Amino acid sequence: MGRRLLLHQLLINTSGISRVYFQPPETLKMEHPCIVYKRNSAITKFANDFPYICELCYQVIVIDSNPDSEIPEKIAALPKCVFDRHYTADNLNHDVYEIYY
């Protein structure tokens, strides 16, 4: 199983919700709460000018109508996960994280 699919399963298992979307099309009508994630960047480490480690960074957004949702806390507890920001849009709370996986 690829690393992204392992991350996908980790997000499902950690959050307890099955609505986890990777780069969903704009036409998709999402139900909330949900998690949307996409590849964001990467960190590459070099030895003798050759890359030997490349950690991909994913942006993970928890979207929930409940401002006191426990899902963001569960995601924040994952290894190599960093909180980025919070914002509201369309009466939904968005908690944005970056996770290296």
pLDDT tens digit string along 5-18? 999 999 999 999 99
Question: Comparing C-alpha atoms, which of 65, 62, 71, 63 is closest to residue 98?
Answer: 62
Check residue 68 and give its pLDDT: 95
Non-local CB neighbours of 45 within 8 Å, separated by 6+ positions: 51, 52, 53, 54
| 1 pLDDT more than 90 | no
Judged by DSSP in three states, 75 sits in helix
**Separation between Cα atoms, residue 6 and residue 89, nearest integer Å:** 29
Architecture of domain 3-100: 2-Layer Sandwich (3.30)
pLDDT in tens, 35-70: 999 999 988 889 899 988 888 999 999 999 999 999
Check residue 54 and give its pLDDT: 85
